[in-house]
Amino acid sequence: MSAPKYLAIINKIELMIRSGEYPEGGKLPTHRELAHQLGTTPITVAKAYKELAEKKLIESFVGRGSFVCNHSQLSDVIKAESREQESNLSILQPCLSSDIVERLNQVFSQVLVRGNDDLFGYAEHTGLLHHREMGAHWARKFGLDVASGEQMVLVNGAQHALSALIECYTQPGDCIAVEALTYPGILSLVNLLGRKAVAIPIDQHGMIPQELDSICRETPIAMVIIVPSHQNPTAATMSVERRQQLADVIHQHQIWLAEDNIYGFLNPSVIPAITNFVPEYGFHITSLSKAISPGLRCGYIKTPDTEYERLAAFIRTTIWLPSPIVFAAASLLIASGEAFDMAKEQRNMAIRRQILAREILGHFEIHAQPDSYHLWLMLPEFWNTDAFTLAAKNKGILVSSASYFCADPRAPVPHAIRLSLMAIKSEPELMVALNKLADLLRKNARFDYTHC
Would you state the pLDDT for residue 1?
43
Within the chain, all domains assigned CATH 3.90.1150.10 are found at: 78-98+340-450
How far apart are the C-alpha atoms of 418 and 206, rounded to whole Å? 16
Is the CB of residue 117 less than 8 Å from the CB of residue 446? no
- Specify whether the backbone of 65 is left (phi greater than 0), alpha (psi in -120 to 50) or beta: left
More confident call, 113 vs 1 = 113
* Mean pLDDT value across residues 374-400: 89
Within the chain, all domains assigned CATH 3.40.640.10 are found at: 114-336
* Mean pLDDT value across residues 302-322: 95
- Specify whether the backbone of 285 is left (phi greater than 0), alpha (psi in -120 to 50) or beta: beta
Is the CB of residue 339 less than 8 Å from the CB of residue 333? yes
Helix (H/G/I), strand (E/B), else coil: 133: helix
* Mean pLDDT value across residues 172-193: 94
How far apart are the C-alpha atoms of 198 and 46, rounded to whole Å? 31
How far apart are the C-alpha atoms of 367 and 235, rounded to whole Å? 7
* Percent of the chain as helix, strand, coil, to the nearest 5: 50, 15, 35
CA atoms within 13 A on the CB side of 44: 17
* Mean pLDDT value across residues 171-179: 97
Is the CB of residue 368 less than 8 Å from the CB of residue 354? yes
Tell me the CATH architecture of domain 114-336. 3-Layer(aba) Sandwich (3.40)
- Indicate whether 246 pLDDT > 50: yes
Cα 191 to chain centroid, rounded: 13
Q: How many residues does the chain have?
A: 452
Would you state the pLDDT for residue 161?
98
Residues 6+ apart with CB under 8 A from 51: 6, 10
Would you state the pLDDT for residue 86?
85
How far apart are the C-alpha atoms of 146 and 304, rounded to whole Å? 10
Is the CB of residue 183 less than 8 Å from the CB of residue 324? no
Would you state the pLDDT for residue 120?
81
Query: How far is the first Cα of the chain from the last one, in angstroms, to the nearest whole number?
Result: 35
Would you state the pLDDT for residue 391?
87
Third-level CATH fold of 78-98+340-450: Aspartate Aminotransferase, domain 1 (3.90.1150)
Name the most confidently modeled range: 19-33, 59-73, 424-438: 424-438
- Indicate whether 21 pLDDT > 80: no
Q: Which CATH number fits domain 5-68: 1.10.10.10, 3.40.50.300, 1.10.600.10, 1.10.1660.10?
A: 1.10.10.10
Pairing of strands 299-302, 152-155: antiparallel
Tell me the pLDDT of the chain averaged across its residues.
90
Q: How many Cβ atoms from other residues are within 10 Å of residue 310's Cβ? A: 12
Selection from 68, 74, 78, 59 nearest residue 19 by Cα = 68
Helix (H/G/I), strand (E/B), else coil: 97: coil
Within the chain, all domains assigned CATH 1.10.10.10 are found at: 5-68
Residue 444: pLDDT band (50, 70, 90) is: low
Would you state the pLDDT for residue 70?
62
Would you state the pLDDT for residue 383?
84
CB burial of residue 73 (10 Å; 0-12, 13-18, 19+): middle
Residue 390: pLDDT band (50, 70, 90) is: confident
Rounded to 5 degrees, φ, ψ at 138 are -60, -50
Would you state the pLDDT for residue 445?
45
Residues 6+ apart with CB under 8 A from 387: none
Is the CB of residue 415 less than 8 Å from the CB of residue 380? yes
Span 257-300, pLDDT tens digits: 999 999 999 999 999 999 999 999 999 999 999 999 999 999 99
How far apart are the C-alpha atoms of 178 and 200, rounded to whole Å? 6
Outline where DSSP puts E strands in 149-298. Answer: 152-155, 175-179, 196-200, 202-203, 206-207, 221-226, 256-260, 282-287
Residue 451: pLDDT band (50, 70, 90) is: very low
How far apart are the C-alpha atoms of 236 and 432, rounded to whole Å? 27
Predicted TM-score (pTM) of the model is: 0.82
Ranges 24-38, 231-245, 328-342: which has the least confidence: 24-38
Is the CB of residue 76 less than 8 Å from the CB of residue 417? no
How far apart are the C-alpha atoms of 249 and 385, rounded to whole Å? 34
How far apart are the C-alpha atoms of 126 and 168, rounded to whole Å? 15
Rounded to 5 degrees, φ, ψ at 203 are -130, -165
- The letter for the amino acid at 339 is A
- Indicate whether 78 pLDDT > 60: no
Residue 256: pLDDT band (50, 70, 90) is: very high
Q: How many Cβ atoms from other residues are within 10 Å of residue 437's Cβ? A: 24
